[in-house]
Amino acid sequence: MSFGSSIIYPFPAVQYIPLTITTISQGPIENLNLKVSSPLLIAEKDLHQWQSQLNQELGLEIPNIWPSNSFPLLALNCLVEEIKYRGFFVTMVGKTIYNHYHFFYIPKQYFYKKKLFFELYERDSAKRLARYTLFITDSVLTKRN
């Protein structure tokens, strides 16, 4: 038995780990920016690199520190409603909301692969809205709580 769409969740439901979404902030993007007009995912270490651009160009104040047992994600022009993890894939379901951001954490203690693929899908159409690839260093895996 699957969770619905076999495109989004092609494996049996028991093979996925549901991850809790802890929303820190969300809302409209203050400065509309045409460079970031489609859904975009930015995770953990890349948030530090994007920090000044997010602040200066989009008017977003995203914290640059977070709890050690959490994995932060920023979704631009979309809202993430559900996350499940299996092997290399962190599968997310949500929707496109233009000029909107969603900053949240998920628990990272379940990640056991060094390469992770984050994919955001729309529930009804199963259309992939955004994707992000992360190569985890050994230090991130050994810091699991």
Question: What is the model's pLDDT at position 3?
Answer: 63
Q: Tens digit of pLDDT for each residue in 60-69?
A: 888 877 888 8
38 is a domain residue: yes
Provide the number of structural domains found in the chain. 1
Asked if the structure places residue 42 within a domain, the reply is: yes
Query: For residue 5, is it within any domain?
Result: no
Residue 145 falls within a domain, yes or no?
no
Percent of the chain whose pLDDT exceeds 90: 52
Torsion of CA 41, 24, 84, 120, to 10 degrees: -30
User: Do residues 133 and 45 lie in contact, with contact meaning Cβ atoms separated by under 8 Å?
Assistant: no
Residue 7 forms part of a structural domain: no
Say what the pLDDT of residue 86 is. 94
**pLDDT tier at 145, thresholds 50, 70, 90:** very low
Q: What is the pLDDT of residues 91-129, one digit of tens each?
A: 999 999 999 999 999 999 999 888 999 999 998 999 999
Residue 22 forms part of a structural domain: yes
Which helix (H) or strand (E) segment holds residue 39: the answer is none
* Domain interval for residue 38: 13-140
Rounded Cα–Cα distance for residues 123 and 117 (Å) = 18
Average of per-residue pLDDT across 120-144? 78
**Is 31's pLDDT higher than 80?**
no
Buried b (16+ CB within 10 A) or exposed e, 20-49: ebeeeeeeebeeeeeebeebbbbbbeebee
